[in-house]
Structure formats: C-alpha cells, structure tokens
Structure 1
Amino acid sequence: MGIQPESSGISKAQKLAEMSKPAVVRILDYAVVDWQFSGTNPDVAEYMNAVQYRSVFGGSGSGAIISPDGYIVTNAHVVNGSQLKEEEIANIAFEQLVGEIADYYGYNYQAVYDYMVQYTLYTNVEKVLKVILPGGDELAGEVKSYGGMDNAGKDVAVVKVEAKNLPTLKFGNSDNIENQDNIWVIGYPAAANSDVLSQDSSLVSSMNAGQISATSKKTEQGSPVIQLNAASTHGNSGGPVINDKGEIVGLLTFRGDTVNGQEVQGFNFAVPVNTVKEFVNQAGAKNKKGDIDKLYEEGLIYYWGGYYKNALEKFEAVERLYSKHSEVNRYISLAEKKAPDSKKLWSDYSTIFYIADGIFLLLIVFLMLFTFVMKPKQPKPAAAAPAAVNINVQDILLALQKQQEENKKDD
C-alpha cells in the first residue's frame, strides 16, 4: 500500500474482529436415523409418528479457515459423529430416542428402553458433515486428519470443503505466548442461538476477550494445553484463539468443571496451535493467505482512515473474487455513502505532479530541439579568391639571362 492511512480511532479489538470473523465458520456434524417400530403401545406409536420415525443425533461447533482452497481446523470432538460406524450411531440415537419418550410422557427410562429394544430397528443412517460459511453458504465437509477424543491435547481435526478464494487466518507460534497475554476467542456459542434472534443471527460469530491464564499445563496423556479466561460455551469448541496480531495461537477445546450444575467461566482450555500444525501437515494442507485477505485488509485500513474511495476500490475487488464474503457488501455500501467526504492519498496528488513534471520536461526537450537542431542554418561566407598575381616580363628576362650566364661558366 505504501503509505498507511491513519486509523488510530479504531480499537484493537474492533480491528481484529473485522479482519478475523470472515474466516471463522460454523460446523454441523450430525446423523439422521430412520426407525421401524412394530410395537402396539399407543404413546410410543404416537411419538414415533410425530417425529416421522426419524431421529437426528449430533452437534455443532466452530472452526477456522486456514487456506483459500478450503482447509479448516476444528476439534476432533466436533466432527466425531462422522468418524463413527453406523451401528454406533444407531445405538447412541436409540438411547437418545428412549430418553425423549421417557421425558415426554414421564415414564421410567429403563422401562421404556426395555420395551422399545424389542420392537425398534434402525433402517438407515445418513451421516452429514456440513460447514456453514459466514456468508451463508453451506458446503459438504470431509475430514482429512483426525486426532481422536482420547486425549484433549490432541483434540484436532482438519476438514476440507470444495471452494476457492476463501478468507483465511494465519497461524502464530504457541511457544511464544506468555501468561496474561491478551487473546480473543471467536466462534458460534450455542447460548447465542436465542429464539428472540433472527435466523440470520446464526451466521454471526461472537468474539470474547480474555487473557492467557497458564501456558504449562498438560493433559493426563502429557499433551500441552493452554488455559485461558475468555468466556465460552457449547458451540465455541474448535473456534480459534487469536493473539493481538490476529494469528491463531490455539483452538478452544474443553471447559473446566461445573459448580451446582452451572458452567464455571475462566477455566477454559485450548489446544496449542503448534499441535494443530501437526494435523495440518498430516492432511497435506498449507496455511497461507490469499488475495482476498490482502485486498480486504487494505480496504479496511483505507476505510478506517477516511479514504473511502480507495477503500471502495479494494472492497469491490474482493467482491469480484468472492461474492459470498460475509462483510464486504456492507462495507461497499458504507464506502459508497461516504465517498463524497473521502480524503485523498498523497499518492493521488503525486500522480498529478508526475504528469505535470512529465509535460514540463517534454516542453524543455522540444525547446532544446528547436534551438539546436531545427533552427535554420545561416549560409557560410564564400571563400576569399586568391589574390591576383602581376607577372613582370622584365624579371623573367633577367632570370633567363642569369641562367644563360651560369651555363657558359660551366662550359
């Protein structure tokens, strides 16, 4: 960009949010199980008919895009359902179904279980792994590497979607973090999905600030984890923990114990990004930024500095490359409205000066050419004719006479 427009009026947190959120996604991992029920209990039959003999089992989490071509990092437990066998999924879904019926009618769980296990069979299991981009696109995901759920310190998965020109986040180095470093957690907490909010609100991620509480803790298996005090809840799992440079330093993975049935904030843990890198390498992925990131960040810097016309050019370039960008259309609209009040960059003025200097230089060259090359030459004066010689006959005669006398002496 050359000159960096002034943007000191924008807080660090706001800058990080606007630059980072387009690369944070929601991940849905679930299975649909179809049932066949042959029992005669009217309550169970009524319930099965109401749910159309179908159960949905699974959950949601968050993730971060790390490459323009669609590689995403998240927790292994967020995509665990996609790794289970059909029978395992059916068993879990059956227990869930029994619990729903028992709760709905106030029956004893074990009694319902014992009855339904005799008359219920699963006929089909459909596994779904879906990535919802901030712009609203829903893409099928495929797990490329998976750390498993036995060790929270390796609670990492890499998911691939078919896309291009996606916004990304850059990896930092978790070895460089210190206690009390400022961090931010970004994701899609389930607690933010309220009935009073619009459907579009489910596409908006949340960002919470906090600090690193401890850097040297380990799981029972000896894997390092980072403790932090930023608020988080269900749905945040797999979301990026970023530093003040906007770099990923970890992935949120699990929370501390509950007290009186309530989650205790301030006891949250993250997988260090250097552990995440191991699984990214296994997946054959590379963490890199794309043209979208550069253009969007330059546009934000121009916009925050009051250079709305310059910002508009950058945002429109982003829109041409990736029309589903979650933020760019809003910024295009804002920049268009503010364009009449746009500041001018020095580079815009210098371009005018360069043109003027060029014209002035051409004039000088033209004058020099006219003076020294194109000016008509003055005719040279004619060469002076040789002076006329007067021949004296008497001198010639004397010379001849002298010559004759010399000849006689020789004889």
Structure 2
Amino acid sequence: MKKKALITIPISLLLIAVMITSFFLINIKPAEGKIAKAQKLAEFTKPAVVRIVDYTVVSWQFNNPDDPEVIAILEQLNNQSVVGGSGSGAIISSDGYIVTNAHVVEATQKKDEDIANEAFEQLVSIVADYFKVDYETAYNYMVAYTQYTDIQRVLKVVLPGGDVLDGEVKSYGAPINEGKDVAVLKIEGKNLPTIPLGNSDDIQNQDNIWVSGYPAAADSDLLSPDSSLVSSMTSGQISATSKKTEQGSPVIQINAAATHGNSGGPVINDKGKLIGLLTFRGDTVNGQEVQGFNFAVPVNTVREFVNQAGVRNTKSETDKLFQEGLELYWGGYYKHALEKFEAVQRIYPNHSEIKQYIANAEKKVDSSKMLWSDYATTFYIFDGVAGLLVLVLLVFTFVGGKSKSSATVVAPPAAGPAPTPPAAPENTLQDLNNDGKIDVQDILLALEEHRKNQQKKDEE
C-alpha cells in the first residue's frame, strides 16, 4: 500500500489543487477601468433625469367687434394665453414614478379662477406693450370686453430617450414660499432607469455633490433640437445643512451652479444617491444672478411624499444591466459589455444612452479582454472528472491494496467408536433399621456410621 500511496497521493493533491485554482479563476472579478467618479455618476444617473413641462392654455373671447387692432392681436395669439414653465425631475421607480418640485407643476394644480387671472394679466401686458399704454389702462379696457371660454391643463414628461409622456400628479406639497416644495408624478412605463434615494441625515458640510437637470441657460438656438434631451451636470459642495424656509421647511444650501430649469433636478452624492431636489436660488445682486448660493429640499422631506404616494424606490433590472455593462466597457471587456448593453436594449429599447454604447462596443469588440468565466462550463466538466479520478485513486490506495485473508477451514475430528455410556451408579444405601424400606431413617443411620468410621480412622 505504501508504494501505491507514493504515486496516487501526489496525483490526487495535484488534481485537487487544479480544481481549487479553476474555482478561483471562474470567480475573478473584471478589472475596473480608470474612470473618474464624476464621470461614472453622470453616466449612471443621466438616463433617469427628465425634463418636465407644465402649462395651461386659456382660450379667450373678445367682445368688442369695433376694435380690430385688439382682435388682430388675439388672432396672432390664436385667441389663447399659455401660462407655465419647465423644470427637471428624477425617476425613482422602474414603473414610472418621478420626484420634482411642487412649483414645477404648480400651473396645472391651480384653480380655474387663479389660472384665468394669471393668464389675463399676461394678456393685458401684451396689449399694454403693443399700444404703449400703462398696465392699468390696458387692464380696465380688456376686463370690460374679454372673458375666458376654456382652460386646458397640460403636464408632459420628456424622457432623455425622446419619449414625451403624459404625467399625473400623485402627491403634492406646495410651492417653496408656501410649504414643502415636493411633488410626485406618475408616467406609464416599465423597466425605466432610476436613481436611488439616499438619507439627508447623513450629509455634512463640504460633502461633494452633483446637480443634474435641464437649465434654461443651456438651451440655445445654436444647438440642435436633440440637444434639449441631454441633461447637464454641475459639481459643488454642501455649504450648509441646517437652514429653513420662512415656513419652517428644511433646506440644504449648495454651491453648485444652477439656474431656471434646474428646479426639481436631483442633487446627487458621491455614492450616486439622491440627497435632495434643487428648489430655489439666492437673491439677485444688482439684478444679476449670483452663482454658488442655491438651495435644495432634503431627500428625507421628499420621502414623506414618496411614501404618501405609495412608491417603492427600487433598482430596476435596466439599471443593473446598464451599470454592469459600463463597468465592463470601462475595463476593456467590450465583448461582455456588448452582451449587457444588448440585454438593456431588449427590455428598454428607448434607453437614452444604449445605442451609442452598443455602437462603440461593436467597434472595439475585437480588442476585448478575456474573462475566465467564459470557460466556466469547461472548468466544471474538468472539475467533475478530476473529482471522480481523485475518488478512484483514494479507493485504490486505501481499500484495494489490502490482501484478502483466506478463511481457515477447521477439519472435523475423525470419526471414532461411540463412547460407552457410563454405568449407572450403584445404590449404596441399605435398609439399616430393617423396616423393609430405605427411608430418611436409613440415611441418618448411614451418616452416623460414616462419622464413627471416620473418627476411628482419625484415632488410629
């Protein structure tokens, strides 16, 4: 057995070592690419940042047919006034829930009377400017002959991929000068990209943050139409964490650049989590905006309205596949990144970034790095065969090497003559008292006689 063990045990140990090595090779993680954290955050969050357009359309009827000039002005306006604006927001659930500011969707949440009054003031200003008269004169004239006939509310959400969807307000706070400036919207969709919610209790002064959204200053006639679908990201730090509005609502002060249109956009920390929504900027100085003094609603305030709407903030399968694909792409594993990107396209075809990344990965696929996990099936087969071989070797060494002992057969003794049965013992008792039978008296007499004989022998 010892000679066999000298051969089989080293072979078994070698096979076991190879099996262990294959296990570790299969589970080696891809090397990370040298990508700046800010770039990663931008790519991870960009697909979930949306533009929100909220406005009302008020239709007018002018009742003075003798004033062709005012009639002409109204015809140029199609007898309508449009009141509202746009802002930003962030998708927080794969089925289409979005967080933004209440003031971003304020136009469609007002009462008809308030909407009509605001639209009328806008119309009066146009008439006053045209005729070069003061506002009060134009107002008194127009109010005598004008009435609204219809109010149409429009709330649209523009996704980064170009889809324009109807939005519905599910939870609403109040504009910043009235309360908590938060609203939760809902659009139709599935497998949408999302941004995870953080915890604003964990933030500290000078934490690095990034603000994402659609600032109006970035919209220019010199840019292509599809440029309006691309969000902007600026960086900065938290300047103060314990400030409040006049109504007592907490706000976070940040120094990242922002302007009109950024309202409702997500403020992201260095872990890629939403810690606030940009809500307003500091006062102007000499009529000019001063950057570096902007404020955000903390995410824990946002959570109040998210919970009120019954929303679960969960990472979608689209997020998981896209982020895995990006990490592989940045690490040089283009073939494997391409597989992830194509999976994203299958479950969410209108992803804003996926077509470009697929095209880039296809161009670089020939120079893709290798992953040991590609050979997992081969490793599993080899490990199975190796494990079986180790078992056979051990059985051969410790079981098969023992010689089988021959059983000793004991021969039966030779047959001989049958033994003579012992003779029946003679009856030594006699009828000593001559009563014709042997009984207890005879036994007692015999014992007494035996005692006397023994005593006699002892005396001799």
Unaligned stretches of 5+ in structure 1?
370-411
1:11 matched residue in structure 2: 36
* CA RMSD after TM alignment: 3.1
Q: Which amino acid aligns with 1:55?
A: S
| Cα deviations by residue, 1:95-114 (Å, 9 ceiling, x for unpaired) | 11111232344332222211
**Match in the other structure for 1:232:** 258
**Could you tell me how far 1:4 is from its partner in structure 2?**
4.0
CA distance in 1, matches of 2:122, 2:381: 74
* Residue of structure 2 in register with 1:76 after alignment: 102
Tell me if structure 2 keeps the 8 A contact 1:6–1:304: no
SS, match of residue 226 in structure 1: strand
- Say whether residues 1:27 and 2:61 are aligned partners: no
The answer to whether the Cα contact below 8 Å between 1:152 and 1:219 also exists between their aligned partners in 2 is no
- Say whether residues 1:175 and 2:201 are aligned partners: yes
Tell me the TM-score normalised to structure 1 length.
0.86
Counterpart of 1:340 in structure 2 is 366
Instruction: Report how far residue 47 of structure 1 moved.
Output: 1.2
- Which piece of structure 1 moves more, 32-41 or 186-195? 32-41
Q: Is the 8 A contact 1:187 1:206 kept in 2?
A: yes
Residue 132 of structure 1 and its aligned partner are, at CA, apart by: 0.9
Code of the residue aligned with 2:247 in structure 1: it is Q
1:42 Cα deviation after fit = 3.2
**8 Å contact kept, 1:153–1:225:** no
Q: Give secondary structure in 2 for the equivalent of 1:259.
A: coil
2:328 to 298, 302, 311: 302
Name which of structure 1's ranges 72-81 and 355-364 shifts more when overlaid on structure 2. 355-364
- How far apart, in 2, do the equivalents of 1:219 and 1:281 lie? 23
Distance of aligned partners of 1:111 and 1:3 in 2 relative to their CA distance in 1, 3 Å threshold? farther
Cα distance in structure 2, aligned partners of 1:149 and 1:223: 11
Of 118, 124, 139, 1:92 maps to 118
**Partners in 2 of 1:217 and 1:368 — Cα distance?**
74
Q: TM-score, normalised by structure 2?
A: 0.77
- CA drift of 1:361 comes to 6.0
Q: Secondary structure at the match of 1:263?
A: coil
- Cα pair 1:67 1:290 within 8 Å, conserved: yes
The percent identity for this pair of structures is 69
- What does residue 300 of structure 2 align with? 274
In structure 2, distance between residues paired with 1:20 and 1:144: 23
What's the CA shift for 1:117? 1.1
Partner residue in 1 for 2:237: 211
2:54 partner amino acid: D
Secondary structure of 1:123's partner? strand
* Matching residue within 291, 305, 316 for 2:317: 291
Moved more, 60-69 or 349-358: 349-358
Could you say which residue in structure 1 is the equivalent of 2:228?
202
Whole-angstrom CA distance in 1 between matches of 2:220 and 2:367? 39
Partner residue in 2 for 1:385: none
Question: Following the alignment from structure 1 to structure 2, what is the Cα–Cα distance between the partners of residues 55 and 292?
Answer: 41
Post-superposition shift, 1:2? Answer: 5.6
> Considering only CA atoms, is the larger Rg found in Structure 1 or Structure 2?
2
Check the 8 A contact 2:33/2:327 in 1, yes or no: no
Matched, 1:191 2:191: no
Whether the 8 Å CA contact 2:86–2:104 is kept in 1: the answer is: yes
Change (3 A) 1:20 1:318: same
Q: Which amino acid in structure 1 is aligned with residue 82 of structure 2?
A: V
Alignment of 1:3-402 (within 5 A): 3-39=28-64, 40-149=66-175, 151=177, 154-358=180-384
Describe the SS at the equivalent of 1:171: coil
Q: 8 Å contact 1:153–1:271 — kept in the other structure? A: no
Q: Is the 8 A contact 1:153 1:218 kept in 2?
A: no
SS in 2 for 1:347: helix
| Other structure's SS at 1:186 match | strand
- Distance in 1 (CA, whole Å) between partners of 2:235 and 2:284 is 21
